[in-house]
Homo-oligomer: A and B are copies of this chain.
Amino acid sequence: MPSSTQVQLVRRPRGWPTEEDFRTVSVELGDLAPGQVRVRNEFLSVDPYMRGRMNDGPSYAPPYALGETMTGAAVGRVEESTSDELPVGALVLHGLGWRDVTQADASAFRRVEEIPGGPSSLHLGLFGMPGLTAYAGLTAVAGLREGERVFVSGAAGAVGTAAGQIARLLGARTVIGSAGSAEKVALLTSRYGYDVALNYKEAPIREQLRAAAPEGIDVFFDNVGGDHLEAALDVLNPNGRAAVCGSISAYNDSAPKPGPDNLSRIVTRTLTLRGFLVGQHPDLADEYREAVTRWFAAGELAYDETVVDGVENAVTAFLSMLRGGNTGKMVVRV
Q: List the interface of chain A (C-beta within 8 A of B).
A: 52, 58-60, 225, 229, 238, 244-247, 250, 256-277, 280
Contact in complex: B258, A261 (CB < 8 Å):
yes
Known: A60-B269, A225-B264, A246-B267. 7 other contacts (CB 8 A): A229-B263, A247-B263, A259-B262, A266-B275, A267-B277, A272-B273, A274-B274
> How far apart are A91's CB and chain B's nearest CB, in angstroms?
31
Given contact pairs A229-B263, A261-B256, A276 touches B268 in the complex (Cβ within 8 A): no
Contact in complex: A275, B275 (CB < 8 Å):
no
Contact in complex: A256, B266 (CB < 8 Å):
no
**Complex Cα gap A269–B280 (Å):** 12
Contact in complex: A58, B268 (CB < 8 Å):
yes
**Complex Cα gap A274–B272 (Å):** 4
**Complex Cα gap A274–B270 (Å):** 7
Chain B residues whose C-beta falls within 8 Å of the C-beta of A270 in the assembled complex: 60, 274-277, 280
Chain B residues whose C-beta falls within 8 Å of the C-beta of A264 in the assembled complex: 225, 247, 250
Chain B residues whose C-beta falls within 8 Å of the C-beta of A272 in the assembled complex: 272-275
> How far apart are A266's CB and chain B's nearest CB, in angstroms?
4
> How far apart are A48's CB and chain B's nearest CB, in angstroms?
10
What are 28 sample pairs from A and B whose C-beta atoms fall under 8 A apart?
A: A52-B268, A59-B268, A60-B268, A60-B269, A60-B270, A225-B263, A225-B264, A244-B266, A244-B267, A245-B267, A247-B264, A256-B261, A258-B258, A258-B259, A259-B260, A259-B261, A259-B262, A260-B263, A266-B273, A267-B277, A269-B275, A270-B276, A271-B274, A271-B275, A272-B272, A272-B274, A273-B274, A274-B274
